[in-house]
Amino acid sequence: MPPRRSKTVAQPEPALPPMTSGPPQAEAAGILTINLAAIAANYRALAHRVLPAECSAVVKADGYGCGLAQVTHALAAAGCKTFFVAHLEEARGVREFAPGAAIYVLNGFPTGTGPAFAEIAARPVINSAVELAEWDQFVASSGWRGGMALHVDTGMNRLGLSITEAAAIAPRIHRGNHGITLVMSHFACSEQPAHPLNTEQIQAFREIRTLYRGIPASLANSSGIFLSPAAHCDMVRPGAALYGVNPTPLQPNPMQPVIDLKARVLQIRDVPRDATVGYDATWTAKRDTLIAVIAAGYADGFIRAAAATAAEPGRQVIVGGERCSIVGRISMDLFAVDVTDLPQGVLHRGDYATLIGGDLTIDEAAIQAGTIGYELLTNLGRRFHRIWVEHEAG
């Protein structure tokens, strides 16, 4: 039986994805709230910024940890018509909630996966001459005409055909059924606006576009959108910015915050002066200290790095409405916070600490942890009670 054509994927309006998941709130370590309205608003803001170019959406890694089904549904409703994922299985998830969308699979065309691509009308991003040959063989044997993207490496030195290879392949666009629906590349340093490689990549990709005239082209990721209109080409591919990560790290964040993460206070206890807290006794109380033990740890994506020591305080969370420092090691399921200076009686067992949210942004939380917002988002734990909301932040 020949593979199904892309026209067969049109389906009735997909069912709404679930709006809660994980353990019941009473049993969970904490609550992760994801604002889909903020994601949609971020998408619309970026789409407006790049007009007349198309704004697609990168939803790999479970929608950057925010829920592939829920994020896809919200973005499709906001007008997104093109999605990028890393793996074929993610493409299946997108197809369920965006039946008419174009879906590109960034990690390429694994050997023997042609029928699976055809089944869901997904398009591989071809990253090498070997993949292109295998794709052509599949197309020739199956008659599939779903299309693919051609990835050209302009300076990342990761995936992609070399500029020389791309130039050699370019004459195929003059043949019928050449199959290339997009030519793309990827910035290496777009979060650093003054980095000279940005200009070099824009120029290199401009030259590639002239060879593939008439084929839509895409270069800019989230931060690339804010470099220059010259980077917008025909399509941009925001990812982290959709989920509230600042695409302009040296300037105020133009995106709305998306997530709010709270974890439960399990116990409040006294620690006498000169006693230690946590594994390896890395933190010693310099005074009689009141600590709150919080039900989250590195198994929940609350990264162990940047823990407190006797010489250097740890990162902060919000407890009782105030910023309080983490003390001692972050363990698999727990960490401790110094709450000595909170007003007496303001904090109780069962209350929540804010790990991300309010004025403690995803970017600040990442910096304190010695990482980036991308890593925090994509490692958000499954032991939290998840709630997706669809209202603008008040």
**Within a 10 A sphere around the Cβ of 242, how many other Cβ atoms?**
32
| Among candidate residues 53, 70, 56, 65, the one with its CA nearest the CA of residue 19 | 70
Measured CA angle at 83 (ends 82, 86), to 5 deg: 150
Those residues whose C-beta lies under 8 Å from the C-beta of residue 226, and which sit 6 or more positions away, are 193, 247, 248, 254
| Among candidate residues 357, 393, 358, the one with its CA nearest the CA of residue 376 | 357
Residues involved in catalysis: 60, 279
User: How many CA atoms lie within 13 Å of 348's alpha carbon, on the beta-carbon side?
Assistant: 3
Query: Do 289 and 340 touch, CB atoms closer than 8 A?
Result: yes
Locate the DSSP E strands across the chain. 20-21, 30-35, 54-55, 57-58, 82-85, 102-105, 123-126, 148-151, 180-184, 217-218, 235-236, 259-271, 276-277, 283-284, 289-294, 316-319, 322-327, 335-338, 352-356, 385-389
One-letter amino acid at 269 equals R
Answer positive or negative: Cα dihedral of 370, 371, 377, 379: negative
Cα–Cα distance, 381 to 50 (Å, whole number): 34
Cα–Cα distance, 21 to 30 (Å, whole number): 12
Residue 158 is classified by DSSP as S
Query: Do 264 and 350 touch, CB atoms closer than 8 A?
Result: yes
What tokens were used for 330? 């972050």
Cα–Cα distance, 149 to 147 (Å, whole number): 7
| Among candidate residues 323, 330, 331, 336, the one with its CA nearest the CA of residue 285 | 336
